[in-house]
Chain A
Amino acid sequence: MKRVLAWVAAAAVTLTGVLLLRAELMTVEVEQPEGSYTDVVVTATVNQEDPEAVREEMTRGLVSTCRLLVNADVAAESFRRVEPDVFAFRLRPGLDEFDRRELRGCLSDTRVQHLLVDVLHLQTVTPADPEPARAEG
């Protein structure tokens, strides 16, 4: 009897976990208003002999890969180096909540060998947002 109860409990926990995971991973397209954009700031760590020489190039490659996943373009000349290992760029159109989550996961993932990126700032700004938020972006 105890064994049956344990199996039932395990099955219930598994089912609940799968349902929660499904709810979290389900992507829904949320239409973003015209003129919206998403600002991203990342820090990049490179594990190679001469990191400064390849850091920006590797980060650009990762960004261009990940922006394809969320169907957004990097705004022209928006990719810039803020600090030696910190980069910022802007994506258009703005990303909804699900796309932001996907972009954050893609950037933090180990897609490029010897490159580890951590997302410091990820925010979507729409024309309806108040000025401070736009200025911050």
Chain B
Amino acid sequence: MRKLSWIIGTIALLASGSYLLVYVYRWEWHRALLVGILFNACLVGLCAALVLRRLTRVERQLSTAGAPHPADPLARLRAAPVEPPPFRWLRPEALDRTHVFIPILLGGGVLVSGAAWLIERVAGSSARAGVEEDLARELRDIAFPGSALVPGNAEVLAGGGDADDPGLRLLLGPAAGGTAR
């Protein structure tokens, strides 16, 4: 019955809309006005019915959500949602589904990671000795010399240097000048 009402309302809306256009096209303004009123009435009625239907659905959902729980513990236990069975993808009827590949991929990932770890360990232990020797040799070549790169003040004073150089005398100060003489 409800579906029939919707069908009738929709047909009336479409028909009145079509006739509205036809009458406007024919310059029959009075008929167009009358049909336009009918079209508006159908439109408002259908929109109101849609809103009411949505409100009823929301009301029903709210009343279902707010229903009191059964007081009896046994009834509450029975009313509780059943836990879904674990590993549903392993059930025989689901083996032909694609989601069975997820655990296969996970297991494959674990295996590949283990193999990679093993290879890395073996390679590291075999190559470490040679690499360390090479590195020590290279470090020895670029090591700083044992003696200082620049002579110290005492060495300069002891060695004399060019006493006639005024720049050097200025740098060494009065002591250098005295020693030189």
Contact = CB atoms under 8 A, between A and B. Distances in A.
B29 A24 contact: no
B26 interface: yes
B31 to A, nearest CB: 6
Contact of A109 (B21, B25, B31): B31
Interface string B31-65: 10010000000000000000000000000000000
Contacts of A24: 25
A109 B30 contact: yes
A57 B25 CA distance: 28
Interface residues of B, number: 10
Nearest to A17: B21
A25 B31 CA distance: 16
A102 interface: yes
Interface string A1-39: 000000000000000010001001100000000000000
Contact of A106 (B21, B25, B27, B34): B27
Interface residues of A, number: 13
A111 B29 CA distance: 9
A43 interface: no
Contact of A21 (B25, B30, B31): B25
Main secondary structure of the interface of A (DSSP, over half): helix
Contacts of A102: 27
Contact of A25 (B24, B30, B34): B24
B56 to A, nearest CB: 24
Interface in A90-111: 101-102, 104-106, 108-111
B28 interface: yes
Main secondary structure of the interface of B (DSSP, over half): helix
Nearest to B34: A110
A101 B27 contact: yes
A25 B25 contact: yes
Contacts of B27: 25, 101-102, 104-106, 109
A9 B53 CA distance: 27
Interface in B106-136: none
A24 B26 CA distance: 9
Given A17-B21, A21-B21, A108 B26 contact: yes
A105 B30 CA distance: 10
A25 B27 CA distance: 8
Contacts of B21: 17, 21
Nearest to A109: B28
Contacts of A105: 26-29
A108 B21 CA distance: 16
Contacts of B24: 21, 25
A110 B31 contact: yes
- Of the candidates A21, A105, A106, the one having the most CB atoms from chain B within 10 angstroms of its own CB is A105
A17 B24 CA distance: 12
8 contacts: A21-B25, A24-B25, A25-B27, A105-B27, A105-B29, A109-B27, A109-B30, A110-B34
